[in-house]
Chains A and B, each alone.
Chain A
């Protein structure tokens, strides 16, 4: 079983829809949670970064972390065709020791005009 599970999609939604992207994880030591967006033939770009549990909002994007359920989500409001990309969740453990992110395998999102 992978440490981080993410539905690969593709997830197809109409423009303007609310999108929900999710990851589950098994390692309770994870404390830092990130969402990256990756366009085709590009490197990942950091969208949201959350420490521990709770919500964080940035424009149309909201990240939620539920450590008790080992479940994180990214919500995209008023989705646009330009949001079409692969979304990767990532997480890491305490700040001491080896610093490495564990990534999900990504969910491909298609927003139809």
Chain B
């Protein structure tokens, strides 16, 4: 089954404690991206990757890092989380990036 898998689904952490949200896709897609979803603001892109070792900033990259060492994986790293990063996060992938074809189930992050 074609899917994008995120882990964990729910995470509560404290300010400043580094965390990683993993994302993996099994469709051999070149393009992957991360979004955050906040009430009234919709989905906003954090980072995207057009292929292995090729990443670039989206609209709201501050406070986040990503890496793309393998085609299937695209982890999101928060080096020093802050409360304003409390949000619902989605990973997405597509063959070419013109549309976001597949989204993961989401990771609800709370930073206290």
A residues with a Cβ closer than 8 A to B are 4, 6, 8, 32, 34, 41-46, 49, 88, 90, 92, 95, 98-101, 103-106
Pairs across A and B, CB under 8 Å, 9 listed? A32-B99, A42-B106, A43-B90, A45-B103, A90-B100, A100-B45, A101-B43, A103-B43, A106-B42
Q: Which residues of A contact B50 (CB under 8 A)?
A: 99
Give me 4 other A-B pairs in contact (C-beta within 8 A), A46-B100, A49-B99 excluded: A42-B105, A92-B99, A99-B97, A103-B43
Majority secondary structure of chain A interface residues (helix, strand, loop or mixed):
loop
B101 with A46: CB separation less than 8 A: yes
Q: Which residues of A contact B58 (CB under 8 A)?
A: 98, 100
B residues with a Cβ closer than 8 A to A are 4, 31, 33, 40-45, 48, 50, 56, 58-59, 90, 92, 96-106
A44 with B42: CB separation less than 8 A: no
Closest-by-CB residue of B relative to A105 is B42
Closest-by-CB residue of A relative to B40 is A105
A41 with B106: CB separation less than 8 A: yes
What's the nearest-Cβ distance from chain A to residue B4, in Å?
Answer: 8
What's the nearest-Cβ distance from chain A to residue B52, in Å?
Answer: 16
